[in-house]
Structure 1
């Protein structure tokens, strides 16, 4: 894997380049360090809404049709995304079109005009996006899990916002929010593919010379405390129950995250994992089951999610907690841990074969932690994890008072679920 090079300009703008001489494509990705965790309650959803509006016209390209026609004519894949802590805009295409792609992506990021006519139309689009996710319990239950963990604070709210907020937003909300967050010091430009560092720096000088240099908008600190198990239940007539069961873990800067990731691998990585074998192969109650660590800037959670037979959900929850308890009581074998390490290393390598994946890999590290680790460095960390580390970590995070459950299904009483939440 090619090594990334980072350059920081005097105004604070960071540029990460990953030249890949033999790759036919290039990806231009611009990240900004803001998302729903930075939003006051009254404008929750604005990070995502603003991301939509950036494609609706710029000073140079005054309509969405012009922007999309240019990118389509270059044969590009392009889009944008909003998370809780950063937002991204990207285009990927033939390396010979790098300059045109860079021009368009930078224009979208820097010079959007937020036309009011387009804003009013886009409100309907976002309302339907909210409706779509609420009709997808496998996705919507993730929002409920954030709510049960963090309640009425930014980390507990949906990235999409509420329908009421969306309908009330006006152009000044976008202008003021962008002014507070879309600034040089809070921006990372990543270019990966068949292009040289010098070619990238030339385009940076051309297009980002006037990027705003303002004070960065502050993130509201997340309160991450709990004293007893919590359940959030959403009644919905479904053929399958979807849930997320989890505990609080660590923020993104904690060195123990790699151990939590390996513990998650023991439970949920691959078809030979403990939970896949138990729920799907042995019990026949689920099509999917996953376990993963989800660290953020000032909070984190370890999660297990599944979609299961409605009539056996309590049985399934008990079995999952039983498997977690087993990690407390008994060490995994070296053979099992080595299998998990090999699987995670192999899958990580396969996930970094394309220029857009590589851009995201390096960019997400830089925007969140302001540091970059190579794949080799991460592999070394994985290989250092021991069976003793796994057992010790299970004892730290698997505590009854730390348990949380979000569930969507045909249920109205959460007491029966609270009764099973104990290690």
Structure 2
């Protein structure tokens, strides 16, 4: 495990120097996302992420912020999930103090100018519309809405046009102040990191006053078994259907996740996976098909997604579900498991060549798990997985009585889709 430096206010810091690069990435994570919201402010976490770029007391406008970073060729952005928000700057190492200063300034001294806030509401509504008009992206939202029905985990990260128009400045700032507290934040700096970096972080992020942590959210209660899949359909007159199957899986700290990750790789994680070969290469039923697992604090979502020919939908669904049942029944081979482990190792080593990915590796684990494994430790954990382990998690997770389905295509409702797919 790599231990963090803990500042006096409770903020955790990972300094990750490595040779062979002239760049450095500063990444700041905070433990807040759409599942921490309440109905009237759904979308606030993402809205706040946007507003951090709209001007501070020292850098009053968006242009002042972007010009400071653009002038030295930096790459910068932010992202919001259901349980976290992140901000990063990748920069030539000689300008690392600037990256630290700008991120601190944005996160803790943004103005939230009412005119800028109103302007940004419109930007986000158009972003919501963009995703809704992109079936390949939107089908995941529909699936998690169904899989996590009754929980804030099922809410859209960006909110809705209604909440974006109605949430007040006061509510947004109160929510920010409640969740942007040092003890719920992690700073990681990776790349060409010098001895002055920690002092720069202490001067900026270390100056933020400690505050109490917010109340915990309601944990997710897994859906009960059902004789028919829960189905969420969006009508759209398209030739290619977007279909997603979802199964509840495990929380982020669960010891079964390495086995589940290897299952996802073997079933549908690569171009040599079972689903890719059977659904696309042998039968030509789709352009893409993929299996992946996503983990949250207290649960997870194992998904199988594909773009399918509506005329051959029953054959495609039969093939996809057949492969899932086959891997439950017969497990995986020694060769498949070895190749999946080698794939995992290779992907990690390639990703960690970049300072941004190295910062993300440690900061994300620290935020979500409260500890950070080294890549070598994580690879060792994965290497220990057996054929029996993979078969066991396949039987636990790929349970059709707990399956949720989402689809975008020319179907009036869930029943119509399930009948067309041959599931009912």
For normalisation by structure 2, the TM-score amounts to 0.96
Match of 1:214 in 2: 211
Tell me, yes or no, if structure 1 residue 33 matches structure 2 residue 7.
Answer: no
Match of 2:172 in 1: 174
Between the two proteins, the alignment pairs up a number of residues equal to: 420
1:18-417, aligned counterparts within 5 Å? Answer: 18-196=16-194, 198-217=195-214, 218-228=216-226, 229-415=229-415, 417=417
What per-residue deviation string (whole Å, max 9, x for no partner) do you get for residues 137-184 of structure 1? 111111101111112421011000010000012221221011100011
What is the root-mean-square deviation in Å for CA atoms of aligned residues? 1.6
* Cα distance in 1, alignment partners of residues 390 and 422 from structure 2: 22
* Cα distance in 2, alignment partners of residues 239 and 328 from structure 1: 32
- DSSP 3-state at the match of 2:396: helix
* Cα distance in 1, alignment partners of residues 403 and 167 from structure 2: 36
* Cα distance in 2, alignment partners of residues 387 and 89 from structure 1: 39
Tell me the CA shift for residue 389 of structure 1: 1.3
Q: 1:418 to 1:308 in 2, by over 3 A?
A: closer
Tell me the CA shift for residue 98 of structure 1: 0.5
* Cα distance in 2, alignment partners of residues 18 and 29 from structure 1: 11
Using the TM superposition, name which of 127-136 and 283-292 deviates more: 283-292
- DSSP 3-state at the match of 1:75: coil
For normalisation by structure 1, the TM-score amounts to 0.96
Using the TM superposition, name which of 409-418 and 237-246 deviates more: 409-418
- Tell me if structure 2 keeps the 8 A contact 1:146–1:155: yes
* Cα distance in 1, alignment partners of residues 243 and 212 from structure 2: 40
- DSSP 3-state at the match of 2:206: coil
Give unmatched runs, 5+ long, in structure 1: none
* Cα distance in 2, alignment partners of residues 51 and 254 from structure 1: 29
- Tell me if structure 2 keeps the 8 A contact 1:149–1:404: yes
* Cα distance in 2, alignment partners of residues 89 and 398 from structure 1: 35
Give unmatched runs, 5+ long, in structure 2: none
Using the TM superposition, name which of 345-354 and 249-258 deviates more: 345-354
* Cα distance in 2, alignment partners of residues 261 and 125 from structure 1: 36
Tell me the CA shift for residue 422 of structure 1: 7.1
- DSSP 3-state at the match of 2:5: strand
- DSSP 3-state at the match of 1:166: helix
Using the TM superposition, name which of 57-66 and 407-416 deviates more: 407-416
- Tell me if structure 1 keeps the 8 A contact 2:125–2:161: yes
What per-residue deviation string (whole Å, max 9, x for no partner) do you get for residues 90-112 of structure 1? 11010011011111111111111
- DSSP 3-state at the match of 1:221: coil
* Cα distance in 2, alignment partners of residues 329 and 19 from structure 1: 46
What per-residue deviation string (whole Å, max 9, x for no partner) do you get for residues 109-149 of structure 1? 11111000100111110010001000111111111011111
Q: 1:73 to 1:46 in 2, by over 3 A?
A: same
- DSSP 3-state at the match of 1:30: strand
Using the TM superposition, name which of 198-207 and 176-185 deviates more: 198-207
- Tell me if structure 2 keeps the 8 A contact 1:7–1:14: yes
* Cα distance in 1, alignment partners of residues 148 and 361 from structure 2: 27
What per-residue deviation string (whole Å, max 9, x for no partner) do you get for residues 382-419 of structure 1? 11111111212222122221111111111124225446
- DSSP 3-state at the match of 2:196: helix
- Tell me if structure 1 keeps the 8 A contact 2:7–2:202: no
Using the TM superposition, name which of 62-71 and 13-22 deviates more: 13-22
* Cα distance in 2, alignment partners of residues 331 and 342 from structure 1: 19
Tell me the CA shift for residue 224 of structure 1: 2.0
* Cα distance in 1, alignment partners of residues 136 and 219 from structure 2: 28
* Cα distance in 2, alignment partners of residues 358 and 342 from structure 1: 19
- Tell me if structure 1 keeps the 8 A contact 2:147–2:246: no
* Cα distance in 1, alignment partners of residues 338 and 379 from structure 2: 12
